Structures are given as C-alpha cells and as structure tokens.
Chains A and B, each alone.
Chain A
Amino acid sequence: AQSVAQPEDQVNVAEGNPLTVKCTYSVSGNPYLFWYVQYPNRGLQFLLKYITGDNLVKGSYGFEAEFNKSQTSFHLKKPSALVSDSALYFCAVRDFLNTGGFKTIFGAGTRLFVKA
C-alpha cells in the first residue's frame, strides 16, 4: 500500500545549526516527490520537487532534499537554520497507479521550531 511517513511530529533546532526533516515513502513505482511548507498565517508554499535526474534537489529558501531510492527516503535539509524557517513541513509522494490514474499522498507534517 502507498504511504508516506514523516516520523517526527516536531523538530527543534538552534538557529545556525543544520536541520533535517525526515520523509520516507512506500509506493509501487517510481514516484514524484515534493516538499511543501506552511508558515503561520501565510498559507502553503511549494519548496521543491524530485521527478528524475540528480538525486540532490535544490529548492526555495536554501532548502534541499536528497532522493535515496534504496532507503526510499526524501529528507529535507538546510545547512543553517533561521528562526524564520519555523513552520509546518509536508512531504508528498505522487504515485502512478496501474489503473492509469495517480494518487498524491501527503505525510502528516512535521513542525519545525528554530530557536534563536
């Protein structure tokens, strides 16, 4: 069955330190992978996507994610966290079904707190 897991409900990081928000998935084929961020009172924003090609994907606001096929992971990373990065982060996987349709599954979200 298709699934996306964000194993941490919350991640706490000190400003200036590197951050990682984890995502693992289970799908039947070759997925498309996405990260989104939801800032307080600002709505959702698209961060980055992996479709094919280079496993390391660079996105908005200095974020990047690495597609690891063997570990079925797509962890979000940033070398140096900012207080303004504090938000809710969603990982999503788009899987193409045998029926010809497709389904996008979102993780439950990880709340990131960056302390000054």
Chain B
Amino acid sequence: GAVVSQHPSWVICKSGTSVKIECRSLDFQATTMFWYRQFPKQSLMLMATSNEGSKATYEQGVEKDKFLINHASLTLSTLTVTSAHPEDSSFYICSARETVQGANYEQYFGPGTRLTVT
C-alpha cells in the first residue's frame, strides 16, 4: 500500500520557539493532505486540510497563525507550530489522500510526530 512518512518522529523544543513537521507521500501524489492532533486521552482532532498549491483550510477553532501549513508539492506538506507553548505538546498525525477512480479516494496516515514543548 501507499506510504506516508513524517519527520521528525519526535521533537522536543523550548517554549517560544517554532518547530516544523514534514509529511511526505512516498510513492504516490497527494493533492490533499490532512493534519490531525491526538490528545493524551486518545481523542483526535482534524486541524486542517491542505491542497497542493493553495492555502490550507482550517477547521473551526484552529488558529491558522499558530499552526502554519504549507503544501508546496504533490508529495510534501509541512506543519509549523509557531511560538510553541507547553499546551501545544501533542501527537501530530498527517495523512495524504490518493485519488482512485475519480471521486473515490484512499487516505493514508503517517506514523505521527510526538511534540513536547518544555
């Protein structure tokens, strides 16, 4: 099946700094990628949907200036957590969507990135 990678798999940063997380589709082109956040008690939240070459669409309640998303190519999307705070510590997961047979699609997830802000 299709593979999605994330880098780094874990990162520790200091409060006030910015950190970038990369999401790559390794063997397919993804016009659409998604960024999720998984909280300590396992609940998931979709943060935003990014389409290659256009601005990301953020879910209601997600700060677009804090979580910058760039989908510069058909195989790469990045999430930058700006001015990170301890409450941004979380597990961030990306997924990439492959279009199959017109309107149908398959969605593949990356392994996630554990962010800890100290």
Contact = CB atoms under 8 A, between A and B. Distances in A.
B93 interface: yes
Range, interface on chain B: 20 to 34
A106 B44 CA distance: 6
A22 to B, nearest CB: 17
Given A104-B46, A109-B42, 12 more contacts: A43-B110, A43-B112, A44-B44, A44-B109, A46-B95, A46-B108, A46-B109, A90-B44, A97-B60, A99-B60, A103-B59, A106-B45
Interface of A: 36, 43-46, 88, 90, 92, 97, 99, 101-104, 106, 108-109
25 contacts: A43-B93, A43-B109, A43-B111, A44-B36, A44-B93, A44-B95, A44-B109, A45-B108, A45-B109, A46-B106, A46-B107, A90-B44, A92-B44, A97-B60, A101-B60, A102-B59, A102-B60, A103-B59, A103-B60, A104-B46, A104-B59, A106-B46, A108-B41, A108-B43, A109-B43
